[in-house]
Structure 1
Amino acid sequence: MFYIPCNKTKVKDHSKEWNGYSLVVAAVSVGNVGQLAADLIVSTLEMTNVGYIYDESILPVVGNNPYSAVSHSSCSLVTGCEVYECTEKQLVVVLQRTPFVKGKRSGFRKRLVKWIKEHNFNQVVILTSSFSHERLDSQLDGSQFRFLTSPSMESTIGDLFRNKLKWKQLERRPSFPAAPSGVENNNNDQTGVVYIPGGGIAKTLFTDCCSLDMNVIVLLLFCAEGDNAWHAKHLVTLLNQWLALVPISSNSEYQQTTGNWKIPPSWRLTFGSAFDPTLYH
């Protein structure tokens, strides 16, 4: 079984369980930006853990609930790929915490697409990131955020993203390696190929969903490895401009970026615990 619900008494027919819901998939990518952004969504909305994905393609891991406050004991555990739900926002989040087993990525993707189709989600949002050193010349300046939509979504809300939200569409490339200087595709040119280095399964998952005529969008940031907490906050804030998951502060741009998201307790030890200064006396 690919998906195992926490409530084992649920009916086997899930076709209407999440009908009309939005699905957020956090891709394991450079800097873990998509996963960190999903962390903020789950923590802020206090989403319910409704199940987990058990698959041979994901490296096994088990740990304590990352959303439990340090001062409170918690007996709940998390695994390598959890599924969270918020009925109020009609939102489901698939949060993968571990990398893939070598050679198993394609099989996981196919099973995930089948699961998405069975649950009849209204739209799929893939959160990811891409290597900043792989950017085109035209991507060096300005916003480091890009979006990519399926044909079905492009025809309905593509103008909203570009004209109202002022989002930049991911530039496509004529071929690999990148096109020579002076012949890069513009933002609206859909004749090239999608290129998301470091983006994990984002590109192939997007392609698979498009082939089944699903509503799917990729949101990504160019970045490098390091402390990517800011990138995650920025990415999820841009997502919030569209889905309105939390109230947006109007006091300042800084508060819009950081003021509305609840930081998970697990982020306190992102880079390990503090060292004992007496070691250096």
Structure 2
Amino acid sequence: MKPIFLNGPSIRKSRPKIQLHFLLLQAQENPHNGATVKFSNFERSASPDFVVFSPTMEFFLEEGKQLHDQCSTLVLPALSIGNVGQLAVDLLVSSMRAARIGYLDDPCVLPCIGNNAYEPLPMGELALPLEVYESTANALTLVQQRSPVIKGKVVDFAKNLADFIATCGKKHVVLLSSLDFGRWQQIDTSSGSQIHYLSSTKDDGTDDYCEQMGWRSLHEYDSEQSRWKYLSTLTEAKTTQEDGPPSDEELEEGDYLPSLPFASLFTFLKAKGIKVTCLLCYCSEGDNIPDAFNLAEATGKLLGLRPGDEGIKWVIPYSWKSVYGPPPDLSIF
């Protein structure tokens, strides 16, 4: 079933029916990460759940679940062409049997609901716009984003998410995303690698370990380019979006990359001193499952997950059975 998008008032009215309505009881310090926490109850639950607050983003911990300090690395997608980052996260969650521990709620993300993406049972378990998973065996936290950011709110969402990640004490964030193949300026397939990267380790965006993996740094990245500099100014408290990006007359050839969601997330996380590694691949719209495998395999190499060996083995998510619709009726041929 495709996700059902609802407007603000409708989702609020529907929340009691799908047990997303919370009764806030009290606030106290979270023993897991020091963030401000409010205890809350599901409307039909007797056990309290944690709600971790950043300025405008809320995290709801599911009943009976807990946060694990050892899961200090976070993997999440940045929406782009082909939804490759989201598909790769789905593949990682399914293959590692990661457990959903809660979900995020942010006003910049469109609300939606859908069926469980990983297995048909238990019936009635819903997929939500921003879900949080943990794989304690791999010391890994994963966030899956299932609906787009509201138009014009990409930077606000990046700021909210970066604030939340910093509050939770994550040490390393891996962003998975894709780039439009039609905009690839320096096509070089001599290395055979389709993975490109951008790292906060050095000012020029390069990283020695990523180079050892045979991946290519984003040659188009230039921190002094006007749009990248504009994003950097937004990380300063005194600067707001009302100050405006460079005008159309000032557009440069390298404006494509900093206009993408991953660029805002990268900039805000880097400004908070968090290590960020963006893994990217060029692709076109279509069947992007092979691209998702490439990105997931690169993530496994980066984090030492060793898929297919003594580590994880790829498990196709249940939802992929219908991601491109049913196969054609052979009787028509």
| TM-score class normalised by the smaller sequence | 0.7 to 0.9
CA contact (8 A) 1:40 1:264 kept: yes
What's the CA shift for 1:195?
A: 6.1
Which residue is 1:270 aligned to? 323
Equivalent position SS for 1:219: strand
- Indicate the RMSD between aligned Cα atoms, in angstroms: 3.3
Question: Within 2, Cα distance between the matches of 1:154 and 1:261?
Answer: 34
Equivalent position SS for 2:133: strand
Matched, 1:84 2:133: yes
Equivalent position SS for 1:260: coil
Give ranges in structure 2 of 5+ residues lacking alignment.
Answer: 1-52, 228-252
- How has the CA–CA distance of structure 1 residues 138 and 273 changed in structure 2, closer, same or farther, with 3 Å as cutoff? closer
Matched, 1:143 2:196: no
- How has the CA–CA distance of structure 1 residues 146 and 101 changed in structure 2, closer, same or farther, with 3 Å as cutoff? same
Question: Within 2, Cα distance between the matches of 1:138 and 1:264?
Answer: 32
Q: 1:235 aligns with which of 286, 295, 299?
A: 295
Q: How does 1:204-219 map to 2 (within 5 A)?
A: 204-219=264-279
What's the CA shift for 1:240?
A: 1.0
Equivalent position SS for 1:88: helix
Equivalent position SS for 2:173: strand
CA contact (8 A) 1:6 1:51 kept: yes
- How has the CA–CA distance of structure 1 residues 275 and 151 changed in structure 2, closer, same or farther, with 3 Å as cutoff? closer
CA contact (8 A) 1:145 1:219 kept: yes
Q: 2:123 aligns with which of 60, 70, 74?
A: 74
Question: Within 2, Cα distance between the matches of 1:9 and 1:266?
Answer: 26
Equivalent position SS for 1:225: coil
Q: Which has the higher contact order (CA 8 A, sep 6+)?
A: 1
Which residue is 2:40 aligned to? none
CA contact (8 A) 2:307 2:313 kept: yes
Give the letter for the 1:203 counterpart: A
- How has the CA–CA distance of structure 1 residues 73 and 209 changed in structure 2, closer, same or farther, with 3 Å as cutoff? closer
State TM-score, norm by structure 1.
0.78
Which residue is 2:305 aligned to? 245
Give the letter for the 2:301 counterpart: Q
Give ranges in structure 1 of 5+ residues lacking alignment.
Answer: 178-192, 251-258
Which residue is 1:102 aligned to? 151
Which residue is 2:22 aligned to? none
Question: Within 1, Cα distance between the matches of 2:157 and 2:184?
Answer: 28
Question: Within 2, Cα distance between the matches of 1:113 and 1:228?
Answer: 28
Question: Within 2, Cα distance between the matches of 1:170 and 1:230?
Answer: 21
Give the letter for the 1:88 counterpart: A
Q: 1:7 aligns with which of 24, 40, 62?
A: 62
Equivalent position SS for 1:85: strand
Which residue is 1:58 aligned to? 109
Equivalent position SS for 1:266: helix
Cα-to-partner distance string for 1:42-92 (whole Å, 9 max, x where unaligned): 0001111111111121111111111014xx452211111111111111111
Which residue is 1:28 aligned to? 79
Report the structure number with the largest CA radius of gyration: 2
Q: 1:128 aligns with which of 166, 170, 177?
A: 177
State TM-score, norm by structure 2.
0.66
Q: How many residues align?
A: 250
Higher-strand-fraction structure:
2
Question: Within 1, Cα distance between the matches of 2:322 and 2:309?
Answer: 28
Equivalent position SS for 1:50: strand
What's the CA shift for 1:275?
A: 4.9
